[in-house]
Amino acid sequence: MTDDVLISADVRVGRISLNRPKAIHALNLPMCEAMIDALLKWQGDDRVEAVIIDHSEGRGFCAGGDIRMLADSGAKDGTEARLFFHTEYRLNHLLFTYPKPVVAFMDGITMGGGVGISQPSKYRVATEHTRFAMPETGIGLFPDVGGGWYLPRLEGRVGAYLALTGARLDGAECLALGLATHYLPSEKLAEAKERIAVDPGRIGGILGELSVTAPPAGITQHLERINRLFASDTFEEILAALEADGGEWAAKELATLRTKSPQTCKVALRQLKEGREMHDFAEQMRQEYAIGSRVVQMHDFLEGVRALIIDKDNSPKWDPPTPEAVTDDWIDAIFVPLPDNEKWTPLT
């Protein structure tokens, strides 16, 4: 067990509260293991009718995973990183297939690993504090924890746009895109949790009664541009479309993409293209584990973490340095399935 996640059962509801406020509740291995143990226990306990996932205090729901640990491991043999990915993805899959309703309160920063534990939940509550993003292209990783499943199922080409740019969405935008099922003012969250604990059979009704009309979703005014300019599954073609457009919005997005890892952008586009055609979430996690097992030891991830998280010079030197230099063979090698004895497997 770990103090980094608080686990309890309130009569009829299991409670999981992330408790690493200094790290914005970023997930580590003991947290994932503790959540899995609790979920498995409650799965067979008829007294527990639903599960609530939230955070104990601080400004974020969950900022992601333990990036420094992943980079430290990747710089060595990658064993610790692979164990984390394997366990985290089992948690993601367990939530995706969980037989009891799960409510995730995405109050505050919800990124990376936080996306992985909120999106499988039946009820996903956004607030005025929600800041949702998959910013992995900026550190040379990739939009994992099921990103290859959720993102391509969003409207039009929004998923590709979010995966490539790492754009942040507010709570109203999450609701408009279906990433959230409800929009509540943060002052109503305590009441929502109390009422759900008393009557878990009425989760949908309780959240509906406490919901308010969300502010206008800013991203909706850009959907036409996103669908047109991010239409291709080829990174170079997206860059060319943005450059040819000449508009202010396109220029801003082009400048953003120029800062991202070309390798990661190409990985993300292929990941989403193939994920769109998959019919089994476990298959998606198997593929993401194969990608993660390799990417975590590659130059761009180690360099991205150095530049953005350790040295904070925000000047990563990507290698390969340009989209054109990232060949199809290079990407193919990242996507090769692992040998049977190394593949990711769900919990049985």
pLDDT tens, per residue, the chain with 348 residues: 789 999 999 879 999 999 999 999 999 999 999 999 999 999 999 999 999 999 998 789 999 999 999 999 999 999 999 999 999 999 999 999 999 999 999 999 999 999 999 999 999 999 999 999 999 999 999 999 999 999 999 999 999 999 999 999 999 999 999 999 999 999 999 999 999 999 999 999 999 999 999 999 999 999 999 999 999 999 999 999 999 998 999 999 999 999 999 999 999 999 999 999 999 999 999 999 999 999 999 999 999 999 999 999 999 999 999 999 999 999 999 999 999 999 999 998
Would you give the DSSP letter of residue 347? -
Q: Is 147 a catalytic residue?
A: no
183, containing H or E segment: strand 182-183
The residue assigned the tokens 């009425």 is 202
CB 128 within 8 A of CB 122: no
DSSP states of 18-34 as a string?
A: E--GGGTT-B-HHHHHH
DSSP states of 112-178 as a string?
A: THHHHHHTTSSEEEE-TT-EEE--GGGTT----TTHHHHGGGSSTTHHHHHHHH---EEHHHHHHHT
Q: Which of 54, 88, 136, 288 is catalytic?
A: 136
Would you give the DSSP letter of residue 219? G
Position 233 scores a pLDDT of 98
1-348: CATH number: 3.90.226.10
**Buried residues in 294-312 as b, exposed as e (16+ CB within 10 A):** bbbbbebbbbbbbbbeeee
Terminal Cα-to-Cα distance of the chain (whole angstroms): 21
Position 81 scores a pLDDT of 97
Position 348 scores a pLDDT of 86
Distance of CA 53 to the CA centre of its chain: 15
Position 10 scores a pLDDT of 81
The residue assigned the tokens 């198997």 is 286
Q: Is 144 a catalytic residue?
A: yes
Q: Which of 113, 138, 147, 148 is catalytic?
A: 113
> Sign of torsion, CA 113 116 119 124?
negative
Q: Is 159 a catalytic residue?
A: no
- Residue 181 and residue 62: Cα distance in Å, rounded? 18
Position 59 scores a pLDDT of 81
The C-alpha R_g of the chain, in whole angstroms, comes to: 20
Q: Domain limits of the chain? A: 1-348
Q: Which of 66, 88, 144, 253 is catalytic?
A: 144
Q: Which of 60, 65, 138, 148 is catalytic?
A: 65
- Residue 310 and residue 59: Cα distance in Å, rounded? 22
